[in-house]
């Protein structure tokens, strides 16, 4: 199950897990886009089912997950990917609405999915949760404040979950990408495409597929190997704050 599978890293994961021969439950808010992706992957022989819901809506998410037919209920891998940044401004000038959306999506949405899916994994003594954190969760960068805090929360929640399932065979991974060229910056800058494009100028950024490769690797590691955390940076990126542009 991949949340936020309509774009970027989530879509990359959908394609790479499909190449790996897995059955997919793709979730997102844009039903039309999900259906296009379902068709694309089904044409290549992948079994795909889709669920349309907003991870911030706990009731809708619960209803959708509970509506899965019997043969789709045993979820082996949950990729908690749906998330976003909104705004890049000093903490004392940020937007209350942007903060709330980031917290509700990146923290509470991830927790909702975890709460809905992980009990089945623990009961079956089998499963893997791959949370999409960020280099932004390792240290704040200027004007990143609340977004960085949400990804820092993802790190702590991932570590907490790993402790809580340690007596089972369930594995928990935090993937922490750096600069990945997706729709992320368009969303962050509220549709200012020029400002978004500047984020990737002068450096070869990562792609959603690069992150998906690591997710597929972690999910297919031998059962006794738990890839706890991976930081994946573009080659000319030193940290969340240091990007060398040429």
The residues of the shown chain that bind ligand NDP, judged by CB under 6 A, are 4, 6-10, 28-30, 54-56, 81-84, 105, 109, 132, 134, 177, 179-180, 182-184, 187, 208
Three-class secondary structure of residue 65 per DSSP: helix
Per rule CB under 6 A, is residue 131 in the interface with ligand 8X3?
A: no
Query: Distance between CA 178 and CA 136 in Å, rounded?
Result: 8
Residue closest to 51 by CA, chosen among 38, 70, 40: 38
Beta carbon nearer to ligand 8X3, 30 or 241: 241
Question: What is the CB neighbour count within 10 angstroms for residue 32?
Answer: 9
Check residue 132 for interaction with ligand 8X3 (CB under 6 A).
Answer: no
Selection from ligand NDP, ligand 8X3, none that 240 binds (CB < 5 to 8 A by kind) is ligand 8X3
Residue whose tokens read 């297919």: 220
Query: Catalytic annotation on 200?
Result: no
Question: Which does residue 2 touch among ligand NDP, ligand 8X3, none (CB within 5 to 8 A, set by kind)?
Answer: none
Residue 104 near residue 56 (C-beta atoms within 8 A) = yes
Per-residue contact string for residues 187-226; x = within reach of ligand 8X3 by CB under 6 A: ----------------------------------------
Query: For residue 80, which phi and psi values (nearest 5 degrees)?
Result: -85, 90
In this structure, the chain runs to a length of 246
Q: Between 121 and 135, name the residue whose CB sits nearer to ligand 8X3.
A: 135
Is 136 one of the binding residues for ligand 8X3 (CB under 6 A)?
yes
123 vs 218: CA distance, rounded Å: 21
Tokens of 100: 């709330």
Rounded Cα gap, residues 180 and 8, in angstroms: 8
Taking CB under 6 A as the criterion, the residue among 3, 46, 134, 150 binding ligand 8X3 is: 134
Q: Which residues bind ligand 8X3 (CB under 6 A)?
A: 134-136, 144, 178-179, 240
Catalytic residue IDs: 147
């Amino acid at each position: 199950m991949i949340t936020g599978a309509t774009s970027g890293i989530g879509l990359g994961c959908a394609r790479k897990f499909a190449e790996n021969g897995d059955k997919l439950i793709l979730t997102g808010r844009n039903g039309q886009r999900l259906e296009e992706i379902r068709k694309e992957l089904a044409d290549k022989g992948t079994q795909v089912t889709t669920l349309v819901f907003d991870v911030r809506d706990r009731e809708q998410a619960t209803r959708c997950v509970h509506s899965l037919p019997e043969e789709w209920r045993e979820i082996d891998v949950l990729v908690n990917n749906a998330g976003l940044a909104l705004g890049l401004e000093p903490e004392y000038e940020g937007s209350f609405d942007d903060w709330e959306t980031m917290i509700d999506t990146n923290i509470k949405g991830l927790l909702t999915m975890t709460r809905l899916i992980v009990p089945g994994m623990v009961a079956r003594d089998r499963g893997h949760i791959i949370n999409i954190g960020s280099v932004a969760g390792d240290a704040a960068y200027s004007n990143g404040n609340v977004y960085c805090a949400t990804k820092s929360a993802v790190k702590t929640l991932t570590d907490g979950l790993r402790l809580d399932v340690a007596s089972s065979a369930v594995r928990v991974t935090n993937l922490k990408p750096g600069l990945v060229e997706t729709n992320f910056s368009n969303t962050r800058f509220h549709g200012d495409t020029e400002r978004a494009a500047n984020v990737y100028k002068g450096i070869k950024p990562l792609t959603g597929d690069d992150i998906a490769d690591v997710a597929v690797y972690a999910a297919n590691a031998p059962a006794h190997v738990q890839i706890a955390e991976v930081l994946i940076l573009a080659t000319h990126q030193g940290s969340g704050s240091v990007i060398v542009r040429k």
